[in-house]
Structure 1
Amino acid sequence: MKKRFVLAAMLAAAPFVASAADNGLSYTYVEGGYAQANINENFEDFGDVDASGGYLKGSFEISPSFYLFGSYAKASDDETIEPIEDLTVRLEDDLTQAEGGVGYHMAWGESVDFLAEVAYVSVERDLKLAAHFEGELIDRDSATIDQKGGRAALGVRGGNDRAEGWLKIGYLGGSDFDGNFIGTLGGQYKFNATWGLVGEVEVMDDVTRYTAGVRASF
């Protein structure tokens, strides 16, 4: 009786296992490329932050259902204003974001996976202000904003051997964050089983992040 039950369970699970293996969605990859962060705020006479830089991201499947992932991005923005004659004020804004976590995926059909992720997030922002009068430095100030917290997200990922897309809705919170919902939309065009072009946009409150790069899947 037990053998029949085990055999029936294996036969019932077989279509889901096959779809997870054949849908072309790899959870082991590395990627990197261009990153941009837009922050809607105003430092008196300075406008919104429009920082650009680069990023690295990776994922490693540790079982048929679970994977580890991480990312690192660094971007910077420089703004200069001249409030009065012969006085120049420059603001340097450097942003660094790192993330690491674990994810779960389950086949929802032949070409769609359900996703669930939890991650630790670290965001550091270095601000440097310098004032020059007639070309001579007269004042300098700096500040660092260091925020740490956690992110949880649910989503879907689907596609085929040529292209795929993903959508995730999450929440970022912790002692250093006020708590905000995050929406992530991304996609990949695949040249072959290994190489592809990827793009992603992430929106959270007044912050919008864009990435575009190359992914190698294994």
Structure 2
Amino acid sequence: MKKTLLAAAVLAAASFGASAAENTANTNGISYTYVEGDYVARNMDVDMNTDIDFKGWGVKGSYEIADQFHVFGAYNKTSNNDFIDIDLDETQLGFGWHKSVADNADAIVELSWLRQGVDVSLLGVSADDHADGYRASAGFRGAFNEHVNGTFKVNYTDGSDFKSEFTPSFGVEVKFTPMFSAVADAEVGNGNKMYSIGLRANF
């Protein structure tokens, strides 16, 4: 009787472990449910001869709400205090579709809302403003092997408060375990570059 109960317990534990591993990622090893914390660096061109560097932090998250569909969000805040105090923040909320196109790759299409804010302070006087816009993105996520995933997207940002432009973005994820990984991302725009490195927990 005890051996039967022990065998049942081992089978149950094995089944739970397999289920958890399946929930952590799709069959191709790519997860759309995660939370992430980042160090963020941004570079902005002011004119032909001057640019400003900003540094700060960010958080991201994504949740797969159904097969092939996910929602996502991100927030980051960076600052520069070289001459005057300038704080930049960006919020993004969106909805995405992903479809397997190979054993180890997905095609991705995403639509999102963006808000960028700026706060400037000098000698106790401050002013702030914000801009709203929308973004459409399309690209691919792929697993190079069981430990490394990569992402490439082309983004189109538009809106009454934004200058319309296309920007490429790149990302890499290196997995320590099925749950935890290191991530790095870059987006290069016309006069605006943003980089981030961080830690991600996949669920």
Give TM-score, length-normalised by structure 1.
Answer: 0.78
Q: How do 1:168-187 and structure 2 match up within 5 A?
A: 168-187=153-172
2:135 aligns to what?
Answer: 151
Larger radius of gyration: 1
Name the CA distance, whole Å, in 1 between partners of 2:106 and 2:42.
28
Q: How do 1:83-102 and structure 2 match up within 5 A?
A: 91-102=84-95
2:107 aligns to what?
Answer: 114
CA shift at 1:152, angstroms? 0.3
Q: Are positions 1:22 and 2:6 aligned together? A: no
Kindly report structure 1 stretches of 4+ aligned residues shifted beyond 4 Å: none
Q: How do 1:66-215 and structure 2 match up within 5 A?
A: 66-80=69-83, 91-130=84-123, 141-159=125-143, 160-215=145-200
2:4 aligns to what?
Answer: none
**1:12-66 deviations in whole A, cap 9, x for unaligned?**
xxxxxxxx93210010000002001110115x9xx42211010000000001110
**1:54-94 deviations in whole A, cap 9, x for unaligned?**
000000000111000000000100123xxxxxxxxxx1110
Q: Flag structure 1 segments of 5+ consecutive residues without an equivalent.
A: 1-19, 81-90, 131-139
CA shift at 1:161, angstroms? 2.1
Identity %: 36
Q: Flag structure 2 segments of 5+ consecutive residues without an equivalent.
A: 1-24
1:40 aligns to what?
Answer: 45
Question: Aligned-pair RMSD on alpha carbons?
Answer: 1.7
Count, aligned residues? 178
